[in-house]
Structure 1
Amino acid sequence: MPSSPEALQQARQRLADAQEKVARLRDLDPYLIDLSLRENPVGARVGQTLADKLAILPKLREFGFRNILLGTLDYSYPDELEVDDDFMMTLRDRQVDMSGCFAFTAVGLVDADGRFVPDPSQLKLRDYRVPNTLHEIYLSEAGMAGQYDLATLLRSLPASIQWLRENIRGDQGGAPRILINIVDGCDAFAENPEGVFEVLSLLAEQPIEGISFEDDRGTYLPLQVGAYVAAARSLLPPPLKILVHMHAGGGFENASLIEALVNGADGVWGGLPKRAAIIGHASLGELIANLVRVGNPHMQRYRLDRLLPLATKLQVLDEEQQVPDDLPILGHNAYRLPLSFFRQIPGRFMDLPPEAIGGRYRYRICPLVSDTQVIAGRLEEVTGRPAAEFSQAVLEQMIFLMRRDLRAGERIVYDQPDNLLRLFARAQHASEVASADVEV
């Protein structure tokens, strides 16, 4: 029974809606703040020394980041300084240009007598001469507990913003760029949306750059994140910015970024590598790669030829361990082909060949599916001989032998060089025997 015209039109409209969202991602010029100097060390085994940070900053600028977070000033025990403090003081003392640089600060509070008391992090921001800030607040019940209630926060926010504008010298001597970061934003939207709306309505009237909010455990679904962004956008019209930051808890993080952007978010903050608090986050490296995937021309401002090697190098520095092999986009196996059918092709819609981000294809032997092209590629890696030198007959014999071994109950990691070379030798012998039989 043929489909009705109405059903066909509805099907076509569904596809058109998706294409409209892809076009939005393609045309977006995202507001990105890189946190490779802070976000990545948070969950790392080792972290970064002052010397590391001084070496990393120019690499981030060379890559193309215009906005870079230097560190966090609203940490616990503020009198016990961190490397971030040393870093910012060193940049100040060496008169390094900090244009476009940010630091995290906490909101100052108006006390019971109506007197505003700046947070210690605000005083450090002033003293270190960092020009811009992600100014952090909490809006969930658990987040505010022991700090302030909503009434106190509503009273304090305008005073805290005013203090920053009066005491912080921004880029090129102008006003500081202030983004209010709602650390527990997703929790607050889910738990107390009316309270969030009250705060956002207040912020819409403040002299700030915009807001940011987080899913700090990575537990909210992309559809929820998209709805929270859309709700915030209805109260914060442009030019006010909305940024998001998504942790990797339930595996939704990169999908949540896409949902946020198509629902009205202006950008993202995060580190270039995947490593972050808990098990990682939706990194700028992954986002940039995915925007390249949809053909976003604004990504050409970044040194894409350095994306994969730089992100990998930074994570290895923080962890003193290799990047997990099976990490999408940035991992060792992300571009190791087990089957040539999976190769991503330049110019094909939604494909992202590794060369586009500074990588290259490699090969991985999987006994069940690896074809002759993959086996020849892996042999080239192991032996140094060109892949074209290996005969099709021998490569096919290698496939047959792997199948026979599995059927006989033998489990062999052929991807390992020694095992691969033994398989190759067996296949050569089998091929020679078969040729001899044909000749006879």
Structure 2
Amino acid sequence: MSSTQALENARAILAGADAKLEKLRTIEPYLVDVSLRENPVGSNIGQTLRDKLAILPKLREFGFRNISLGTLDYAMPDELEVDDDFMMHLRDNSMDMSGCFAFTAIGMEAQDGTFTPDPSQRKLQAYGVPNTVHEIYLSKAGMSGLYDFDTLRRSLPSSIRWLHENIRGEHDGAPRIFINIADGCDALANNLEQACEILALLAQLPIEGVTIEDDRGTFLPFQVGAYIAVLRSVLPPPMKILVHIHAGAGFENASVVEALLNGADGIWAGLPKRAAIIGHASTGELLANLARIGNPHVQHYHLDQLLPLATSLQQLDEMGPVPDDLPVLGHNAYRLTCTSFRQVANRFMDLAPETIGGNYGYRVCPVISDPPVLAHRLAEVTRLPVDSFSQEVIEQMIRLMRRDLRTGRRIDYDKPQELQDLYARAKVFCGHHGPHAHSTHHYSSALP
């Protein structure tokens, strides 16, 4: 193959990638925020009524137009949750619930045509919540113990009809209804014929759209993309298709990208990473990644508040810090270990931390950190200007870290005291304080 042919082939291959990027740039993501439910269900602590009342206006202020207030428990409907108290409080105080949803289960239609609404539907009506995500199971394992397929097929139209007849939507209109197939990936993988029959049925019903979950986070991204392509082949626009992807195997954000490329409109998720298992593809991560590629629609949200808001919500749910090494949202995501890793505004595929309300910090790693990182970390620790530290001494610090490791000394130089001790040793080696060449402790406080 000639170099000219190789170049033409390369351009053709990359044109395919560019077309995918352009699709992601132009999509206006449809988001249903569930920070009031998804994040606390994975928390060791949860949220109180006071917490929820404080969070709701922050979500609205950030820019979310669709917000789930919670789940109206299907398993123990007689034992109320904070979600119930929250919705009753909003109702009793005539607070705005426009754009609000609650998760409900479907009612059941008997063979004689008698319909019995689920207790969660009755609660939705009583609490005055205008919209719902109506949840079903469609894999054989998921349906087992709940209903058989014939009952599900018979009950879905009746349940949606009951909602239209009994739920007052926004501005006295019809309720907006999503059908969430909680085991959607399993159903499409293992019960395709019945899944497609239900999807064809849903295409004829007065609903806003359909969502599917990878509830264990175990399906590969290309599988999720294929399942969404199946949904889109049956559910044409303007019907919405959303996904909810857990982080079981670490594929979650890649799976969301594949879903969007294959016809999904967006996701329902919490703003922080915390979720029912070990995390999920969050709205915070999706907005950041769409901002990374220049999607203009994310400007509808206050991106400059994304990082501090997501951090504060997760800290509230955990009563502890966000894990340092969480991508995008973690403390170390924007602490440079080497300046070559810096993400720069307006560079292709970079997302500068300032875009989402953060700033660069610095973290010392003895194997890779370069002089600018050491100088900036010293400035953080000592609160002195970066130019207070001589290049000669900084370079000697790098030499000393290498020597320490070669002699078997493993030291966490990122810790303030260890860093200052290292700096003091380097000054001695450089002859800045010759008389005290063997007194490392003496120089640990002699900065700069």
TM-score norm. by structure 2 comes to 0.95
- Aligned twin of 1:56: 55
Give the corresponding residue for 1:161. 160
The corresponding residue for 2:95 is 96
* Distance (Å, rounded) in 1 between the aligned partners of 2:382 and 2:4: 60
Question: Where does the alignment leave 5 or more consecutive residues of structure 2 unmatched?
Answer: 436-448
Residue number in structure 1 paired with 2:78: 79
1:2-55 deviation digits (Å, cap 9, x = unpaired)? 3583x6544322211111111111111011000000000011010100000000
AA aligned to 1:321 is G
The worse-fitting range, judged by mean Cα deviation, of 105-114 and 370-379 is: 105-114
Cα distance between partner residues in 2 of 1:182 and 1:433: 69
Q: Is structure 2 residue 397 aligned with structure 1 residue 423?
A: no
- For the structure 1 residues 209 and 266, does the alpha-carbon distance in structure 2 shift closer, same or farther, using more than 3 Å as the test? same
- Deviation per CA, 1:242-271, whole angstroms, max 9, x where unpaired? 000000000000000000001100110000
- Whether the 8 Å CA contact 2:392–2:430 is kept in 1: the answer is yes
Say if 2:72 and 2:104, in contact at 8 Å, map to a contact too.
yes
Distance 1:415 1:434 in 2: 24
Residues 130-184 of structure 1: CA deviation (Å, up to 9, x unaligned): 0000000000011101111111111110000000001001111110000000000
* 1:304-343 deviations in Å (ceiling 9; x for gaps): 1110011011011111111111000000110110000000
SS in 1 for 2:133: strand
Opposite residue 192 of structure 1, the aligned amino acid is N
Partner of 2:119: 120
Residue matched to 1:2: 2
- Asked if the contact 2:134/2:178 (under 8 Å) is kept, the reply is yes
Q: Give the Cα–Cα distance (whole angstroms) in 1 for the partners of residues 7 and 414 of structure 2.
A: 48
Counterpart residue number, 2:312: 313
CA displacement at 1:433 relative to structure 2: 6.1
Q: What CA distance in whole angstroms lies between the structure 2 residues aligned with 1:341 and 1:11?
A: 27
Matches of 1:144 and 1:155 in 2, distance apart?
Answer: 14
Once the two structures are TM-superposed, the CA of residue 361 in structure 1 deviates from its matched residue by: 0.4
Partner of 1:223: 222
Name the structure 1 match of 2:110: 111
Cα distance change of structure 1 residues 4 and 351 upon mapping to structure 2, 3 Å threshold = closer
User: Following the alignment from structure 2 to structure 1, what is the Cα–Cα distance between the partners of residues 372 and 171?
Assistant: 56
Give the Cα–Cα distance (whole angstroms) in 2 for the partners of residues 9 and 146 of structure 1: 58
CA distance in 1, matches of 2:15, 2:154: 46
Inter-partner Cα distance in structure 1 for 2:7 and 2:383: 55
Aligned to 1:77, the other structure's residue is in SS state coil
Q: Please state whether the residue corresponding to 1:334 is helix, strand or coil.
A: helix
For residue 78 of structure 1, what is the amino acid of its counterpart?
P
Once residues 308 and 267 of structure 2 are traced to their aligned partners in structure 1, the CA distance between those partners, rounded to angstroms, is 21
* Residue 239 of structure 2 is aligned to residue 232 of structure 1: no
- State how far apart, in whole Å, the 2-side matches of 1:434 and 1:97 are: 68
SS in 1 for 2:132: strand
1:364 positional shift: 0.4
Where does residue 277 of structure 1 map in the other structure? 276
- For residues 330 and 276 of structure 1, the distance between their equivalents in structure 2, rounded to whole angstroms, comes to 14
**Does structure 1 retain, via aligned residues, the 8 Å contact 2:36–2:52?**
yes
Other-structure match for 2:405: 406
CA distance in 1, matches of 2:8, 2:374: 46
Counterparts of 1:192 and 1:113 in 2: how far apart (Å)?
Answer: 27
2:222 is matched by which residue type in structure 1?
L
Which residue number in structure 1 is paired with residue 443 of structure 2?
none
Q: 1:163 to 1:348 in 2, by over 3 A?
A: same
The yes-or-no answer on 1:302 pairing with 2:306 is no
3-state SS of 1:113 partner? coil
Contact 2:69 2:101 in 1 (8 A): yes
- 3-state DSSP of counterpart to 2:206: coil
Partner of residue 152, structure 1: 151
Amino acid in structure 2 at the alignment position of 1:101: C
Q: State the alpha-carbon separation in 2 of the partners of residues 210 and 157 from structure 1.
A: 14
* Letter in structure 2 aligned against 1:223: F
**Does the CA contact (< 8 Å) of 2:74 and 2:119 recur in 1?**
no
Q: Partner residue of 1:140?
A: 139
Partner of 2:349: 350
Cα-to-partner distance string for 1:192-247 (whole Å, 9 max, x where unaligned):
11111100100111011010000000000000000000110000000000000000
| Corresponding position: 1:178 with 2:180 | no
Aligned-residue Cα RMSD (Å) equals 1.3
Alpha-carbon distance in 2 for matches of 1:148, 1:125: 22
Query: Which moved further from structure 2: 106-115 or 249-258?
Result: 106-115
Q: Do the aligned residues in 1 keep the contact of 2:427 with 2:433 (CA within 8 Å)?
A: no
Matched residue, 1:11: 10
